Chain A
């Protein structure tokens, strides 16, 4: 079975630009979560979506937004990019919300110059 897939693998953007990252969950999983992992640090929670609704949000500015589609895939959008947004963005899917393990994708490496 296919695992969690993310696209693109790598991305280079300029300060002030906008970026969209995409995630396809494992078949049958209805929850998708997004994380930011800066080099050398642990992942930081950004959003969790379940059944197309936002169910949790981390401490990130409003420049970060996301949505989940009817097929449970998800997009993470970041506006007005800053140098500090350079990181590995991880997507994880799970069958449900509370108490379910999350399965992680390989991530999208975003570099902001």
Chain B
């Protein structure tokens, strides 16, 4: 079945670069989205990755693929929870799945 895994928490200092991983398994041809959650604000879309190329690999079965998001020169204001969402699967049984989120904490 489909699944999504994310690192729980990352703490870095202002100005650093940070990579947040999203490792997923899918039986379909999914689209992977990244969203950010700031306090008291709706989820905002950051990035989208489609799996067009996966159609060339027969069956569309993807296991433990990592789709990271990288933020350069982070600021304190980048502190938030970052979620990846596995969606756009072909079959009705392929449910939309959110990761548990990575809490990014930027130290001043």
Chain A interface residues toward B at CB < 8 A: 3-4, 33, 35, 41-45, 48, 55-59, 90, 92, 97-107
Q: Bound complex: CA of A84 vs CA of B107, how far in Å?
A: 35
B95 touches A56 (CB 8 A): yes
What is the count of residue pairs linking A and B with beta-carbon distances less than 8 angstroms? Answer: 58
A45 touches B88 (CB 8 A): no
B88 touches A3 (CB 8 A): no
Residues in chain A near residue B99, CB distance under 8 A: 42
B100 touches A105 (CB 8 A): no
In the complex, the chain A residue whose C-beta lies closest to that of B45 is A101
Chain B interface residues toward A at CB < 8 A: 31, 33, 35, 41-45, 48, 50, 83, 85, 87-90, 92, 94-101
Among A43, A48, A104, the one with the most B-chain Cβ atoms within 10 Å of its Cβ is: A43
A98 touches B31 (CB 8 A): yes
A3 touches B98 (CB 8 A): no
A41 touches B97 (CB 8 A): no
Pull 22 A–B residue pairs with CB atoms less than 8 Å apart, ordered by A: A35-B98, A42-B99, A42-B101, A44-B98, A56-B96, A57-B95, A59-B95, A97-B88, A98-B31, A98-B87, A99-B31, A100-B31, A100-B88, A101-B33, A101-B45, A102-B33, A103-B45, A104-B35, A104-B42, A104-B44, A105-B42, A107-B42
